[in-house]
Structure 1
Amino acid sequence: MSDKEVLLTPDGLKKLEEELENLKSVKRREVAERIKIAIGYGDISENSEYEDAKNEQAFIEGRIITLEKMLRNARIINNEEIDLETVSIGSTVIVEDVEFGDTMEYTIVGTAESDPGQNKISNESPVGKAMIGKKKGTIVEVSVPAGIIQYKIVDIKK
């Protein structure tokens, strides 16, 4: 991962900090205990519990490094920075599918926070990228595998 700026909302920052704290204080101890128990079983060359614990340990340490780098390069998007005239990171956007009339609500976030299941989409995703900088009433076109979807920006909120 490069040292590029990581854009986060205050909520996103809090979640990353909590995940980092949990990995450092809880998960590290749990996996160290699993390794100790697995070593107690004897020959580690053919010990699957030991292998699993070592793999989990490597994953945890890698995630800690990634989170620390993200937090070091974080720029927090505060509510005051969110413009209600144009879509930006931190905006909650209500859009209408021009063809079908379905209405959806998305919050535009940095890639580190994106969670499509929670309707938090990245500013670098096709839909997010198409909406950034646009105003209410604008129709944006998004290329998807099935073709092009047109969304009308109905409202922009904080």
Structure 2
Amino acid sequence: MLHDLVNQGLPFEFLERIASLLQAHRGVISKAICMSPTTVARRAKVGRFSSLESDRIVALVAVVKEALSLFEYDVAAATEWMNSPVRGLGSKRPNDMLGTRVETNAVVDLIGRLKRGSACVRLARWSSGLGSCSYFRYRSFGRKSVQIILLTHESSFACSKAG
């Protein structure tokens, strides 16, 4: 069971697999879970993470799973979103908000609101090299190639048209 694995400490290979899936260097992943490069190097030698570090890794996986679901399993789009400032998170990057459960829950909560359409998004579509902007709820845009800029307002979630 997952809680047993977390209590024992996840094997180091788990971090390597996550980095591979996200096409990111393990340093990026370790920074997201608030681990220094020297701690990561020590864990590589030992081959296992502490239970606290394992819990952070599991939280990262949960956020990544939700982000992938939001972007219909487009790894590049989900990764770009995770690395971009998001207004609904106080202009912080989701990857910078994975150090504590409270921050992780805020990211998961925002993703849930986006999935339900209770947060607004601005979609910029490019066809034949010409950009055209349209405003939609998340559910309405499907698999089209889009650049997503989140425009959520923390308290009211009102849509606003940005330049």
TM-score normalised by L of structure 1 = 0.29
Please identify the structure whose Cα radius of gyration is greater. 1
Q: Which has the higher strand share?
A: 1
Q: Which has the higher helix share?
A: 2
Normalised to the residue count of structure 2, the TM-score between the two structures is 0.28
